[in-house]
Amino acid sequence: MRIGIVCYPTFGGSGVVATELGMALANKGHTVHFITYDRPVRLRDHPNVFYHEVRVSDYPLFDYQPYELVLTSKLVDVAKFEGLDLVHVHYAIPHASAAWMAQKILAAEGIRLPFVTTLHGTDITLVGRDPSFEPVITFSMERSNAVTAVSESLKKDTYSHFPLKRDVEVIPNFVCMDQYQHAPDPAVHKRYAPNGERILVHISNFRPVKRVDDVLHMFYALQKMMPVRLLMIGDGPERQRLENLCRQNGTCDTIQFLGKMTRPEEILASCDLFVLTSESESFGLAALEAMACGVPVVTTNTGGLPEVNINGKSGLLSAVGDTQAMAANAFEILKDDNTLANYRKGALEQAATFDLNIVLPRYEELYDRVVAAVNV
């Protein structure tokens, strides 16, 4: 099948999932065309993978450049000349409406192009709540040939926020277990914890919804219970303020900010605990990737996180903002080697239920259904 994928090409969860899905489809023999404004950060060379840049011209007439219209034109162009069977758009805004416009333009020329919309979270729970977007998002979802959500929680939120009359199918995010190293590297652990301390790690885009302050507060509470270090991976609007906070508190010797990493699993496997303190999380891909490395997780109990992090098996859940409970949960997991080993085993077992080999066939079956329906 010839598949077009539209996504944001960044480190965010939707872009990572879209890219890894495209690579997996290419490995199965499908031809995949990525259509976006920049090369996705995790996109690797592959004979079945092609990248088409959406280039927006800078006309002085426009205060805001019309990306949605340029994306629509690029979709039409690629669909016609590459013979796409289907387009899969990740993140509703503005990709779903662009796909619908492209579909109608192509239909006027007798070309059928079905499209699937996958909802990832903030397109529904945050951005989508803006009244200025709601009519377009609702319309685009209703006109999609299929709509999927990455968790049961997000599916419920979608029906709660939008007056949808159509089905939304849940297909979760995934990890390729074979790509993750499961054995900690003693040399890496010693590099970041020279005195044998336990290592905590947090990965995010450092936006307010991630409540990264809570990571620091729970870490400071845990420091009173046991020797620990903290690695902060990622970048975003909150990073500078948090770095300044660490300097003011004199904790730069135990907290390191490592910035963005394309393959964080090289460090993840040598950490002892992953921490995610989000106020809202439709799935929690970063937590799942940590679990795939055999790292247990302490997360909030919001959104889709309880579907990923099974309390008492892969890690422990805490209420949003309860940093004392998070610290206590972290101590419970890290208090001795046997307990930590059991949680590591549980994290791996739970991550394996989201393995690519389980999830990918569900997307392929969905694509077959959608294409068959439009060709009746």
CA distance 174 to 285: 8
Report the pLDDT value the prediction gives residue 127, as an integer from 0 to 100: 57
The DSSP bridge partners found for residue 232 are: 202, 257
Shared-domain flag, residues 36 and 117: yes
Per DSSP, the residues of 41-107 read TT----TTEEEEE-PPP--TT-SS--HHHHHHHHHHHHHHHHT-SEEEEESHHHHHHHHHHHHHHHH
Shared-domain flag, residues 166 and 187: no
The candidate with the shortest Cα–Cα distance to 203, out of 295, 327, 90, is 295
Shared-domain flag, residues 159 and 124: yes
Instruction: Give pTM, 2 decimals.
Output: 0.91
Shared-domain flag, residues 101 and 30: yes
Shared-domain flag, residues 221 and 325: yes
Report the pLDDT value the prediction gives residue 126, as an integer from 0 to 100: 59
Shared-domain flag, residues 30 and 129: yes
Cβ–Cβ < 8 Å for 283, 154: yes
Q: What is the pLDDT of residues 251-260, one digit of tens each?
A: 889 999 999 8
Shared-domain flag, residues 54 and 170: yes
Report the pLDDT value the prediction gives residue 262, as an integer from 0 to 100: 78
Shared-domain flag, residues 282 and 344: yes
Report the pLDDT value the prediction gives residue 7, as an integer from 0 to 100: 92
Shared-domain flag, residues 369 and 337: no
Shared-domain flag, residues 328 and 185: yes
Report the pLDDT value the prediction gives residue 57, as an integer from 0 to 100: 76
Cβ–Cβ < 8 Å for 71, 35: yes
For residue 85, what are its two tokens? 């069977």
Report the pLDDT value the prediction gives residue 162, as an integer from 0 to 100: 87
Shared-domain flag, residues 110 and 225: no
pLDDT by 10s per residue, the chain, length 376: 999 999 988 767 788 899 999 999 999 999 999 999 999 888 899 999 999 999 887 766 666 678 889 999 999 999 999 999 999 999 888 899 999 999 999 999 999 999 999 998 766 665 556 777 888 888 999 999 999 999 999 999 999 888 889 999 999 999 999 888 777 889 999 999 999 999 999 999 999 999 999 999 999 999 999 999 999 999 999 999 999 989 988 888 999 999 988 788 889 999 999 999 999 899 999 999 999 999 999 999 999 999 999 999 999 999 999 999 999 999 999 999 999 999 999 999 999 999 999 999 999 999 999 999 998 7
Report the pLDDT value the prediction gives residue 119, as an integer from 0 to 100: 93
CA atoms within 13 A on the CB side of 210: 26
168 lies in which domain range?
Answer: 2-174+356-374
CATH number at residue 243: 3.40.50.2000
CA atoms within 13 A on the CB side of 177: 16
Domain count, the chain: 2
Q: What is the pLDDT of residues 9-52, one digit of tens each?
A: 876 778 889 999 999 999 999 999 999 999 988 889 999 999 99
Shared-domain flag, residues 201 and 281: yes
